Amino acid sequence: MSHPAPPVAQRFRSFGKSIFAEMTAMATAHNAVNLSQGFPDFDGPDIARLAAIDAINKGHSQYAPMTGVPVLRQAIARAWARAGRPTIDPDAHITVTAGCSEAIGAALMGLLDPGDEVIIFEPYFDFYTAGAAMAGAVAKPVTLHSPDAAHPHDFWFDEAALRAAFTPRTRAIMVNTPHNPTGKVYSRAELELIAALCQQHNVTAISDEVYEQLTFNPAKPHISLATLPGMWERTITLSSLGKTFSLTGWKVGWSIAPPALTACVRAAHQFMVFSGSTPMQHGAAAVLDAGDAYCETLRRLFASNRDILSATLTRCGLTVYPSDSTYFLMADHSALGIGTDRAFCEHLTKVVGVAAIPPSVFYLTPGLGTNLVRFAFCKREETMREACRRLEAGLLKN
Ligand code: GLN
């Protein structure tokens, strides 16, 4: 007797296939320049690679401690303090995870019970809603609107909408600054409002700060939410190695939180992966202490790439929104009349030869994001120039 194949569990059914897997596969199939999934097309610093190889050669091949190898947690504490933030304790406050992605899941699953509400700004990195679904929690969106005449430089949210999103069931808010996919850096005033609401409603903040080193505008510095008055006790800060040092495939991330919130993260983390890869943690420790000059070079490259890409997209008739950070920018493609974001990205990948991300998958509110497209600019300058050449050839009306 044949049985029907089991369906995907309900909690994942609405998510379909990850847009990053889908668009990278489409880019590969059509030989497109891949500006969709965000990863550099060059290697991270030698010091990281050599230290990881050395760790393998020295036999660091068994499980790391559940909380992470001590040398890495100490290096994370030093990096946190170097950025002017209060001293933290590597044992009590830091947990190393398998990339920030696992940290997002561990924080949401370790903190939330079924039916709890978590506020998520949209557009969002898709792991947030998937993580909420894994926890059985309810995601409540607050929209970041595109820049307009009143907010010419920034994606922005309505204060009343944020206030209204807090209910007696709200247990957490996901903050992501600097913000993927918009390139927004949350201002101190915005973070202060979030902090005040968290304290008023006894809500925990989960602050994903993986792009903390990739800011391009001195007038918009990165501020860690946990450093605001009253927020250390109620914030889980997440970060990682991948974006800062062009090592996205190493999957080394971490959480920083006071002991009670660290206990929540570790409760989930120990049963998700138990510990991250040991040699990569040794490589991560070496580069965290020595990589500041690398970050400076990276910031210069990415800011220049952003400018080259923005100018090309503008010439091609898109409305490009400012990006002060991360390695993404958003643009409005609707003037080109090619259809939805999905139709536009498919045309771009298959006909023009440049892959990008359709951002409607990053919204909970139906219909939002269909006029937008997200481009990654974390590539070698030659790669960006080739992408721009193809965009002009394929999109410029003559
Ligand atoms: N953070 C990366 C991006 O936004 C992708 C991560 C992933 O592939 N899941 O492009």
- Lookup: tokens for 339: 């259809």
Classify residue 172 by its DSSP letter: E
**Closest atom of ligand 1 to CA, residue 357:** 10
Look at strands 204-208 and 138-143 and give their pairing. unpaired
Candidates 60, 190, 175, 178; CA nearest to 122 is 175
Q: How far is CA 106 from CA 138, 362, 398, in A?
A: 16, 20, 52
- Lookup: tokens for 398: 């003559």
Mutate to test the pocket of ligand 1, among 23, 125, 176, 179 (most ligand atoms within 8 A of CB): 125
The answer to whether 259 and 124 have CB atoms below 8 angstroms apart is no
Mutate to test the pocket of ligand 1, among 15, 17, 22, 37 (most ligand atoms within 8 A of CB): 37
The answer to whether 170 and 202 have CB atoms below 8 angstroms apart is no
Q: How far is residue 157's CA from residue 147's CA, in Å, rounded to a whole number?
A: 10
3-state secondary structure of 183: coil
- Is there an atom of ligand 1 within 6 Å of 20 CB? yes
pLDDT of residue 35: 98
- Is there an atom of ligand 1 within 6 Å of 244 CB? no
**Closest atom of ligand 1 to CA, residue 210:** 1
Protein residue closest via CA to atom 2 of ligand 1: 38
**Closest atom of ligand 1 to CA, residue 18:** 9
- Is there an atom of ligand 1 within 6 Å of 183 CB? no
- Is there an atom of ligand 1 within 6 Å of 143 CB? no
pTM of this prediction exceeds 0.95: yes
Mutate to test the pocket of ligand 1, among 127, 180, 345 (most ligand atoms within 8 A of CB): 180
For domain 46-290, give its CATH number from 3.50.50.60, 3.30.540.10, 3.40.920.10, 3.40.640.10.
3.40.640.10
Residue appearing with tokens 């790439």: 305
Candidates 204, 144, 200; CA nearest to 177 is 144
Q: Within a 10 A sphere around the Cβ of 29, how many other Cβ atoms?
A: 11
Residue appearing with tokens 């069931």: 169
- Lookup: tokens for 362: 């990053």
| Residues sharing a CB contact under 8 Å with residue 281, sequence separation 6 or more, in sequence order | 64, 68, 69, 71, 72, 96, 252
Domain ranges of the chain: 10-39+293-395, 46-290
Q: Spell out the CATH class of 10-39+293-395.
A: alpha beta
Q: List per-residue pLDDT tens for the chain, 398 residues long.
A: 788 888 999 999 999 899 999 999 999 999 999 999 999 999 999 999 999 999 999 999 999 999 999 999 999 999 999 989 999 999 999 999 999 999 999 999 999 999 999 999 999 999 999 999 999 999 999 999 999 999 999 999 999 999 999 999 999 999 999 999 999 999 999 999 999 999 999 999 999 999 999 999 999 999 999 999 999 999 999 999 999 999 999 999 999 999 999 999 999 999 999 999 999 999 999 999 887 889 999 999 999 999 999 999 999 999 999 999 999 999 999 999 999 999 999 999 999 999 999 999 999 999 999 999 999 999 999 999 999 999 999 998 64
**How many angstroms is it from 21 CA to the middle of ligand 1?**
9
Look at strands 252-256 and 94-98 and give their pairing. antiparallel
Protein residue closest via CA to atom 7 of ligand 1: 20
The answer to whether 276 and 97 have CB atoms below 8 angstroms apart is yes
- Is there an atom of ligand 1 within 6 Å of 38 CB? yes
**How many angstroms is it from 126 CA to the middle of ligand 1?**
9
Protein residue closest via CA to atom 8 of ligand 1: 20
Q: How far is residue 51's CA from residue 75's CA, in Å, rounded to a whole number?
A: 14
Measured in whole angstroms, the distance separating CA 343 from the mean position of its chain's CA atoms is 24
- Is there an atom of ligand 1 within 6 Å of 358 CB? no
Classify residue 28 by its DSSP letter: H
- Lookup: tokens for 146: 């595109």
Look at strands 170-176 and 117-122 and give their pairing. parallel
**How many angstroms is it from 169 CA to the middle of ligand 1?**
30
Q: How far is residue 139's CA from residue 171's CA, in Å, rounded to a whole number?
A: 11
**Cα 180-185-186 angle, rounded to 5 deg:** 110
- Lookup: tokens for 78: 């030093």
In the chain the beta strands, taken as DSSP E runs, fall at 33-34, 94-98, 117-122, 138-143, 170-176, 204-208, 235-240, 252-256, 319-320, 328-332, 354-355, 372-376
pLDDT of residue 2: 81
Classify residue 216 by its DSSP letter: -
Candidates 242, 225, 221; CA nearest to 295 is 242
Protein residue closest via CA to atom 3 of ligand 1: 38
- Is there an atom of ligand 1 within 6 Å of 383 CB? no
- Is there an atom of ligand 1 within 6 Å of 25 CB? no
